[in-house]
């Protein structure tokens, strides 16, 4: 078993609640399913980044960063697929999880609140991914543990980019941003701690 990997302090402080131990226990017993959903998550993360690029091409800094982020997420997808191939785990497309669907439903339709919500939700997803990588890595076989430990820095960096753009690109004052962020944090914590019938990388407590 690998050494304990602490959750980065800024990530732990940002999230309202830690991942339940029951999810970690479930993940360790269902590695093929965790890897399959992780691969799907990386593909969806690349698609999300490209979506920002298509929707807001006039926002130069945002478009440039999201282009780079999409390429990085696709590299992660390829890395997970390689591990799956080594373990003879077939790839298949999965539908959105309850977690992703619940956050997506909270996005407001009007601009600039739509952009703000999507960026804040992006930050929450990246923060949760980073936290789960740190917590699951010490419980995994050595090769997987090294891989997940190696993803911590990039996930934390993606989180920081999403938060920075939420503050710089939306033209919304800091007080309103913080109020909305607190609402979305509470929703995210609820989705993480409630019982979940379906196991996914971002699922809640196993039902």
pLDDT score, position 108: 98
SS3 content of the chain, % helix, strand, coil (to 5): 70, 0, 25
109 domain residue, yes or no: no
Number of folded domains in the chain?
Answer: 1
106 domain residue, yes or no: no
135 domain residue, yes or no: yes
Cα distance between residue 47 and residue 148, in whole Å:
21
pLDDT score, position 165: 98
Domain with 184, as residue range(s), is: 9-91+114-206
200 domain residue, yes or no: yes
pLDDT score, position 5: 80
CATH code of 84's domain: 1.20.1260.10
Contacts of 112 (CB under 8 A, 6+ apart): 170, 171, 172
107 domain residue, yes or no: no
3 domain residue, yes or no: no
pLDDT score, position 207: 83
pLDDT score, position 96: 86
pLDDT score, position 14: 97
46 domain residue, yes or no: yes
133 domain residue, yes or no: yes
Cα distance between residue 41 and residue 181, in whole Å:
22
Split the chain (207 residues) into runs of 10 and give each run's mean pLDDT: 77 96 96 97 96 96 97 97 97 93 97 98 97 96 92 94 97 97 98 95 93
């Amino acid at each position: 078993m690998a050494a304990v990997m602490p959750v980065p302090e800024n990530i732990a402080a940002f999230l309202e609640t830690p991942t339940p131990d029951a999810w970690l226990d479930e993940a360790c017993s269902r590695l093929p399913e965790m890897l399959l959903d992780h691969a799907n998550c990386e593909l969806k993360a690349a698609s999300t980044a490209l979506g920002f690029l298509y929707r807001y091409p006039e926002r130069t800094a945002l478009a440039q960063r999201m282009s780079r982020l999409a390429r990085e997420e696709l590299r992660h997808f390829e890395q997970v697929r390689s591990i799956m191939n080594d373990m003879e785990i077939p790839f298949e497309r999965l539908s959105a999880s309850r977690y992703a669907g619940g956050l997506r439903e909270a996005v407001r339709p009007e601009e600039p609140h739509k952009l703000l919500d999507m960026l804040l939700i992006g930050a929450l997803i990246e923060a949760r991914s980073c936290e789960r990588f740190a917590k699951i890595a010490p419980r995994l076989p050595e090769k997987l543990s090294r891989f997940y430990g190696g993803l911590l820095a990039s996930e934390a960096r993606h989180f920081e980019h999403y938060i920075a753009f939420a503050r710089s690109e939306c033209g919304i004052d800091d007080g309103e941003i913080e109020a909305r962020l607190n609402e979305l944090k509470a929703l995210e914590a609820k989705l993480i701690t409630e019982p979940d019938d379906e196991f996914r990388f971002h699922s809640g407590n196993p039902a």
